[in-house]
Every structure is written in C-alpha cells, then in structure tokens.
Amino acid sequence: MEEDKRKELEEMAKKIRVDIVEMLCESGSGHPGGSLSLADIFSYLYFSGIMNIDPKNPNKKDRDRIVLSKGHACPVWYAALAEKGYFDKSHLKTLRKYGSMLQGHPDMNKTPGVDMTTGSLGQGLSCAVGMALGAKLDKLGCRIFAIVGDGECDEGQIWEAAMSAFHYKLDNLIAILDRNSLQIDGYTKDIMNSEPMINKWKSFGWEVIEINGHNLDEIESSIEKALNIKNKPVCIVANTIKGKGVSFMEGECGWHGKAPSEEEKEKAIRDCMCKA
C-alpha cells in the first residue's frame, strides 16, 4: 500500500473511533469494544475504493453489500456511513434515541447504506449467503462482505450458513471474522471454546486467510486475494483487540456494552487521535 493511502486510511480510522466514542457517550448506552475493534477494517472497506458503492445512490442494484452479522457493533458502521456521506454526521448524536434512524442494531428500513437488518446473533451470515446466491442467480457481479464476531460463532446457525456457502460455491461472499477473543461474559475460549477456529472454517470448505485486523496492508492484501479466489467462499480471520485505540478499553470485556462517561470520553478521544 502506498504511504499516502495508508496515512489517509489511518486518519479515517481515527475519525471513525472518535465518532464511536462521541455517539456512545451522547446516547449513554451501546457497544464500544466490538465497534472499536472494527474501525480499521471499515476504514479500508469504505475509503480505499475497493467497494462498488455510491452514497448518492445507496440502492443501486449492482452495489457491493455489507452485512454486519454482529449487529451490536453498528456504531462503527454508522460512523463509516456518515463519514462517507450517506447521511449528515449530525445524525450520529441521535444514536439509540426514540425516532432516530440510528437504532441500537442496524435497520435496513431506516438507515441509508444498511443492506440488512441484524442483531440476532448468528443470522447475519445466513442473510449474506442468501444475498450472495441471489446476486449470482441475477448475474449482478456484486460482492457480499459479512462481518462476523468470534463470540457469535457459538451459534449453530453460523455453521449451517458456512456449509451452505460452500455447497453453492459462493466465491462472491467474503466473511471477515472479528477475532477479538472477548464476548459479553468474558474470553471466548472460556465461554465456548471454538478453537481451532481456522481449521473449522477450512473444514467447511472455505478458503481462510489470517491477518492482523489493525494492519491496513494486511487488510488490503487479504481482500485483494479473496476477490480472486474462485468457486468457494473466503473467511478472513482478522485478529483484533477489543476496544482498540482507547487505552482503558483495550482487551477489557467490561467495555463490551457500556458507554463512557463524560470524563472518560475526553481521555478516550485523546487516545483515538494519538493511535494509528
């Protein structure tokens, strides 16, 4: 990746993290940990030019789609959509408020740029499989990116969807696994040990690429490779840090679903602006 492009994406990831902190503090509730861990990935997806999307025409038929299967991490998605110009950034202050188009889980009927309503863990990947299959049948040529949580992989429906995606040879489906190793009650290995995670996805017939989910060069190379793999779906296992960018949130499961206070907000924003 060219240095100028990397710096641009790093700066956008910082903006997205600041947006996350500010909107959660304003709402007084939400999920910072798993939103912050995805900021670098969303910065790349929306601002590298890799996706066929148009904020001025969010419903164009041949657009690439994102399905945020771990729907509680929607603050990172809302921030990216606002920064991309799908809607005015002032809406971020309305997160989780009555009547807002930005609810606590994504709603495709309310929010421009949201292609699938999610929140019930495990179901988003199944939706992405259906969308990828439909795109093939309609010869749209679009790609489906499904963002999956590692804690979410406790759900049996994830593996039913994985089996189906291989069966239908959905090479237009890329799952990105946010492997931050924490879920609401603690470490994933203690709640429901899903190791060996990589071998599990491989055993279901997927091509698997493991990366550092905060390294933009690795994010870029993995997605470029994934887009050239034929006749099977791809899972990018992105090793991340829950709460990435905010020192007192990093690696702490207590920040799975708790908003920062006003005092914590200032410290969090300083951290976000300093860390790439």
Confidence check: pLDDT of 238 > 90: yes
Q: Nearest Cα to 212, choosing from 270, 167, 276? A: 276
Please tell me whether residue 223 adopts helix, strand or coil conformation: helix
Q: What pLDDT shows up at residue 3?
A: 95
Supply 24's token pair: 């959660």
Q: In the prediction, which pLDDT does 276 show? A: 52
Q: SS3 for 236?
A: strand
Q: Where are the domains of the chain?
A: 3-274
pLDDT confidence tier of residue 274, bands split at 50, 70 and 90: confident
Q: What average pLDDT is seen over the chain? A: 97
125/262 Cα distance (integer angstroms): 36
The DSSP symbol for 63 reads: -
Whether 91 has a pLDDT exceeding 70, the answer reads: yes
- What pLDDT digit, counting tens, does each position of 180-229 carry? 999 999 999 999 998 999 999 999 999 999 999 999 999 999 999 999 99
Closest by Cα among 150, 178, 151, 174 to 77: 178
**Cβ–Cβ < 8 Å for 127, 116:** yes
What single DSSP character describes residue 2? -
Query: What is 3-274's CATH number?
Result: 3.40.50.970
In this structure, what token pair is assigned to residue 33?
Answer: 């940990």
Give the model's pLDDT for residue 64: 98
Tens-place pLDDT, residues 173-182: 999 999 999 9
Nearest to 168 by CA among 232, 124, 235, 236: 232
Q: Given a cut of 80, is residue 263 above it in pLDDT?
A: yes
Specify the residue for token string 């055993």.
Answer: 203
**CA separation for the pair 12, 87 (Å, rounded):** 17
Provide the angle, in degrees to the nearest 10, between the axes of the packed helices 3-27 and 216-226. Answer: 100
pTM of the model: 0.97
Q: Which two tokens stand for residue 9?
A: 């994406």
